[in-house]
Structure 1
C-alpha cells in the first residue's frame, strides 16, 4: 500500500474537548495549525470514556471489548491503588506501532498509555511505581527503552517534579523536541496530561484548566518548530486529538458501601476486603458491577433489587443501569453483570467507607481524595465530544468532518503510513486524505 507521508506525529492532549475549540482558534499555534488542517470538532469517544481504553482504541481502531482494555485499572477489590493496564501484552490484536515496526519504521512513544514493554524503538511508557518498595526510575527503565530514557532523564530530568503537572508535560515536551531533532521517527505518539489533571483537580472551566490550554499552545509551537529544525516538516503529518471530554461533578457515589452493608462484600477489622460476591468497579462517570461467580443467582438478584431501589430517586446519583449484553453492544466489557451511568454532577468511587453519597469539598481535592471534574461517562451525554485535527503531508486541508468516532483514527493513521490494521471497528477517513 502506498505511503502518503514519511513521518506521522500523533499528539494526544488528554481531555481536549469540543468546548475548547473557540479558544484553540484564538491561541497562536493552535490557530495556525487549524487553519491548515482538516478536522472534526464532534468526535464521539468510547464507553467507558477513560484514558487507557481511549488510547488503546486510537492505536487499534477497535472498541474496548475487542482490544481488551476495558478500564484504566484492574478489578482488585478493596485495593487503595489498583494496578493499571500499563503493558502492551494486555492489548488484543495488533497496534499502529506494531505494524509500523514490522514495516521497518522507526517508532517513538512518550507517556502513551498501554505501551509498557512494547516493541517501540524510543519508548518512555506511562507507568508509575505502585508498590511501597518500587522506585519510579527503575520501574520506567525496565518497561521502556533504558538507554533512551537515561539520555532524556540526564538532559531534562531536572524539569520533572515526580508525576506533578505541569512539570511532567514540560519534561515530555523537551524529550519530544530532542527526539524529533535527533531521531526523526517515522511514527511518534505523544501523550500530554496537563489539561486533564487540572480539570480533575479544579473543574472543567477553571483558571487552572485555561492556563493548561495556553501551555499546550506553546508546546504545540515548540513541536512544530522542532520539525522544521529537523528538516522533516514538509514530509510530516501531524495529528492533534483528544481522547474524551469531561464534566463537572460535586458528589461521589459509593456503591460498595451499600454492597458491604448488604453482605455482598466482606472486610476484616482493618477494613481490608477478605471476600466479595459483587463489586462496583469505577470508571469515574460510569461503573461496572461484577459478580464474582457467574452462577451466583442470589448475588445477582440482590444487586438487581438494590439498583431497582436506587433508580427510583434521581438524588441517588444513578442515571441508568444496563446489562452486560447491552454494555457489550456499546463496546464496553460484556463480562460485567451491570454497567451504571452517573447522573450529571455525580461520579463513582470504589470506596468502602463513609456514606453512600458524599459531597466533594476543596479539602478532598487538595488531598486528591476526590475530584471536581471527571470523564468515563457515556459518549451519548450531550456536549461531551472530543476533537481531531490533522495537517501536513497526505492531508487535504480545509475539510470539516461533521462527525466521526475515535475508532476511525487508527485506520486513518495506518493508511497515512501505508499500513493496515486489518478488520477494525473504525473506518479510514478517506475524504481528508490526499490520495
Structure 2
C-alpha cells in the first residue's frame, strides 16, 4: 500500500468540542490548519464517551465491544481510587502504532492513554502511581521507554508540578518539540489534557477553559515550528483532534447509595464495602450496572424495577437505561446488566454512603476532585456534544466535511502511513485524502 506521508503527528486535545470551532477560527495556529487543510465539523464519539475508550478507538478503528477498553477505570467495587486501563494489554487486536512499527517505521507516544508497556520506540505512557508505596517516576519509567523518559525528565522535569495543569501539558509540549527535533518519528501521538482539566474543574465555557484553548493554540504553534526547524515540515501531516466534548452538570447521582438501602450492597459499621450483588460503575455522564452473578435473575429484576421507578422522577436524573445486550449493540460493554444515561445537568459517582442526589457547588468542586462542574461520558447522540478533527499536510485534501465517526479516524490515519488496521468498525475517509503517489 502506498504511503502518503513520512511523518504523521496526531495531537489529541482532550475534550475539544465542535462548539469550540468559532474560537479556534480566530486563533492563528489553528487558523493555519484550517486554511491549509481539512476540517471535520462534527466527529461522533463512542459510548461511553470517556477518554481511555475513546483513545483506544482512535488507534484501533473499533468500538469498545471489540477493542475491550470499556471505561477509564476498572470494575473494583469499594476501591476509593480504582486502577485505570493503563496497559497496552487492555486493548484487543492490533493498533495503529503496532502496524507502523511492523512496517519498520519509528513510533513515539507522549501521555497517550492505554500505552503502558506498549512496543513503542519512544514511549512516555499516561500512568500514575495508585498505591501508597509506589513512586511516580519509577512507575512511569517501568512502563514506557526508560532511557527516553529519563532524558526528558532531566531536561524538562522542572516544568512539571506533579499532575497539575497547565504545567503537565507544558512539560509534554517541551518533550514533543524535543522528540520531533531529535527523533523525527514517522508516527507521533501526543495527548494534552489541559482543556479537559479546566472544564472539569471550572465548567465548559469558563474563563479557565477559554484560557486553555489559547494555550493549546500556542502549543500547536510550537509543534508546527519544531517540524520546520527539524526540516520535516514539508514531509509531514498534522492532525489535531478531540476525543469527546463535555456538558455542564450540577448534580451527582449516587445510585450505589440506593443499592445499599436495598441490600444489593453490604457495608460494615465503617461504611466499607463488604459484598455486592449489583454495582453502579460510573462513566461520568453514563454508567454501567454490573451484577456480581450475571445469571442472578432475581437481582436483575429487582434492579430493573428500581430503574423504572427512578425514570418516573426527573429529579433523580436518569434519562434512560438499556440492557447489556442493547449496550453491546451500541458498542459498549456486553458484560453489563444495564447502561444508564444521565439527564443533562447530572452525572454518576460510585459512592455507596451519603446522599443519593448531591448538588455540587464550585467550592466543593475545588476542594474535592471527584466533584466536577462539567463532564463527558454521555451518549454521542446528545445535542451539541460532538467533537472535531483538523488535518493539514501531506496526503490531506483541502476540504470541509460535515460528519465522520471516531471509529473512522484510525483506519484513515493508517492509510496515511501506508498500513492497515484490518477489518475494523470504522472506514478510511477517502474524501480527506489525496491518494496519490508514494512519498519518497
Same fold (TM over 0.5): yes
Q: Structure 2: 5+ residue runs without aligned partners?
A: 436-440
| SS in structure 1 of the partner of residue 104 of structure 2 | coil
Secondary structure of 2:134's counterpart equals: coil
Q: Distance in 1 between matches of 2:365 and 2:313?
A: 27
1:107-122 equivalent positions in 2, closer than 5 A: 107-122=107-122
Counterpart in the other structure of 1:346: 346
Alignment of 1:4-23 (within 5 A): 4-23=4-23
Answering whether residue 158 of structure 2 is matched by residue 153 of structure 1, we say no
Alignment pair present for 1:308 and 2:308: yes
Q: Secondary structure at the match of 1:299?
A: helix
Deviation string for 1:333-353 (max 9, x for gaps)? 011000000001000000112
**TM-score, L = length of structure 2:** 0.98
Mapped partners of 1:273, 1:124: distance in 2:
35
Which residue pairs with 2:438 in the alignment? none
Equivalent-residue separation in structure 2 for 1:359 and 1:417 (angstroms): 48
1:251-290 aligned at under 5 Å gives the runs: 251-290=251-290
CA distance in 2, matches of 1:381, 1:366: 27
**Distance in 1 of aligned mates of 2:370 and 2:387:** 26
Indicate the residue corresponding to 2:397 in structure 1.
396
Matches within 5 A, 1:304-343: 304-343=304-343
CA–CA distance in structure 1, aligned partners of residues 354 and 286 of structure 2: 20
Instruction: Tell me the alpha carbon deviations over residues 4-51 of structure 1, each in whole angstroms, 9 at most, x when there is no partner.
Output: 000000000000000100000001111122111111111100000000
Structure-1 separation of matches of 2:370 and 2:394: 45
The residue correspondences of 1:7-406 to structure 2 (distance < 5 A) are: 7-367=7-367, 368-397=369-398, 399-406=399-406
Give structure 1 stretches of 5+ with no counterpart: none
Distance (whole Å) between structure 2 residues aligned to residue 336 and residue 55 of structure 1: 21
Aligned-partner Cα distance in 1 for 2:328–2:259: 24
Secondary structure of 1:9 counterpart:
strand
SS of corresponding position for 1:100: helix
2-side partners of 1:270 and 1:136: how far apart?
A: 30
Q: Separation in 2 of the partners of 1:257 and 1:430?
A: 49
The alpha carbon displacement at 1:269 in A equals: 2.0
Cα offset, 1:85, TM superposition: 0.2
Q: What's the CA shift for 1:242?
A: 0.1
**What is the total number of aligned residue pairs between the two structures?**
434
Spell out, residue by residue over 1:211-239, the C-alpha distance to the aligned partner (whole angstroms, 9 max, x if none).
Answer: 00000000000000000000000000110
Deviation at 1:268? Answer: 1.6
CA RMSD of the aligned region, Å?
0.6
Cα distance in 2, alignment partners of residues 212 and 378 from structure 1:
25
Q: Which runs of at least 4 in structure 1 moved beyond 4 Å after TM superposition?
A: none
Tell me, in whole angstroms, the C-alpha distance in 1 between the residues paired with 2:97 and 2:286: 30
Structure 2 residue matching 1:290: 3-state secondary structure: strand
Shift of 1:363: 2.3
Q: CA deviation at 1:369?
A: 3.2
Q: State the SS of the aligned residue for 2:52.
A: helix
Q: By how many angstroms is 1:358 displaced? A: 0.3
Shift of 1:188: 0.3
> TM-score, normalization: structure 1?
0.99
For residues 327 and 423 of structure 1, the distance between their equivalents in structure 2, rounded to whole angstroms, comes to 22
* Deviation (angstroms), 1:361: 1.1
